[in-house]
């Protein structure tokens, strides 16, 4: 089972005449990078919220947004009448008696509005925490669905590399014969055919061909592809992104060696196609949890 690092979850609830909204988003990241944007009254629960998110989501660039709106007609802010009257008295000393204009000026001055500080009670704190858990659960479900799509894409890319690897075999025998013919022809151009020591020539050809042998690279490449697929299809939910990233590096190493030893244009074309599939694998693997 595969999980994507990309996800979105939200939850909404009403408690104590407040409508509370929670949204959590995640993108890919090497580690867990959690950012929260909370109203001031919920700041005291910030550490608990971060801890709950981190224990469930493990990795990713995660952003949690929480806001609320009051459903009550009462306001927590009141006008400080004494301060307003004091401002008006001072403003009248400037010789202006239009109270409407003076009031407009006074209302923009400091300390006119007083906001009651409301303590966060246990019921509201618990409600906010539970909404965060609900949003996290929805995000994990989103990650699971995205992961299933991602797994199918990755399986297809790996199978493409395996199919291309099988095509290499078609050109191997002809490749070796071409190398032998090319070396023999160049040697005959430099040395009289009668003076060529056939036994020595055969030894040198065998040595050269062995250096260009790609059997080992093919075996290791196939094994790495199979290992990648095994990790993809494991039923557990452990973090797989980093492990798959390491295996894709090993696949790349074998593909590069195969290309450098190919010495054949047909095989080189296949290697280029393998690299194209591998780039897709690496790009998508970055999104795996």
Q: Are 288 and 2 in contact (CB under 8 A)?
A: yes
- Residues 253, 263: Cα–Cα separation, whole Å: 17
Q: Which among 73, 255, 43, 50 is positioned nearest to 132, based on CA atoms?
A: 50
Coil/strand/helix, residue 35: strand
Q: Which among 19, 116, 18, 16 is positioned nearest to 75, based on CA atoms?
A: 116
Q: Are 178 and 208 in contact (CB under 8 A)?
A: no
Give me 108's structure tokens: 């923009």
Q: Are 262 and 169 in contact (CB under 8 A)?
A: no
The pLDDT of residue 152 is 93
Per-run averaged pLDDT (10 residues), the chain, 289 residues: 90 87 92 89 89 90 90 65 77 71 76 66 87 94 93 94 89 69 60 53 59 82 93 78 92 90 83 94 91
Ranges of H-type helices in 76-121: 81-92, 99-106
Query: Rounded to two decimals, what is the model's pTM?
Result: 0.72
Q: Which among 114, 117, 129, 123 is positioned nearest to 17, based on CA atoms?
A: 123
In order of their start, the domains of the chain are: 7-73+120-143 (3.30.230), 77-115 (no CATH), 145-285 (no CATH)
Buried b (16+ CB within 10 A) or exposed e, 121-157: eeebbebbbebbebbbebbbebbbebbeebbeebeeb
CB atoms within 10 A of CB 241: 21
187: Cβ contacts below 8 Å, ≥ 6 apart: 196, 201
Q: Which among 118, 134, 115, 162 is positioned nearest to 277, based on CA atoms?
A: 162
């Amino acid at each position: 089972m595969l999980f994507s690092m990309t996800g979105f979850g939200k939850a909404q609830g009403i408690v104590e005449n407040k409508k509370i909204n929670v949204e959590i988003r995640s993108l890919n990241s090497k580690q867990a990078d959690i950012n929260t944007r909370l109203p001031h009254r919920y700041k005291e629960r910030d550490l608990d919220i971060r801890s709950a998110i981190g224990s469930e989501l493990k990795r990713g660039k995660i952003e949690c947004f929480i806001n609320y709106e009051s459903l009550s007609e009462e306001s927590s802010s009141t006008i400080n009448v004494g301060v307003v009257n004091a401002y008006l008295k001072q403003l009248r000393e400037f010789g202006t008696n239009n109270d409407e204009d003076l009031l407009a000026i006074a209302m923009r001055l400091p300390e006119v509005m007083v906001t009651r500080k409301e303590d966060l009670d246990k019921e509201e704190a618990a409600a906010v925490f539970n909404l965060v858990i609900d949003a996290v659960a929805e995000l994990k479900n989103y990650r699971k669905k995205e992961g299933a799509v991602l797994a199918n894409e990755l399986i297809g890319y790996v199978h493409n590399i395996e199919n291309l690897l099988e095509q290499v075999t078609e050109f191997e025998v002809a490749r070796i014969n071409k190398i032998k013919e090319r070396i023999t022809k160049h040697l005959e151009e430099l040395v009289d055919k009668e003076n060529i020591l056939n036994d020595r020539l055969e030894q040198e050809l065998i040595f050269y061909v062995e250096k260009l042998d790609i059997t080992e690279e093919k075996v290791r490449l196939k094994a790495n592809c199979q290992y990648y697929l095994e990790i993809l299809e494991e039923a557990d939910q452990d973090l797989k992104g980093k492990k798959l990233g390491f295996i894709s590096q090993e696949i790349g190493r074998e593909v590069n060696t195969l290309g450098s030893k190919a010495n054949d244009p047909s095989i080189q074309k296949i290697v280029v196609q393998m690299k194209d599939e591998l780039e897709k694998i690496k790009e998508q693997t970055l999104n795996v949890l």
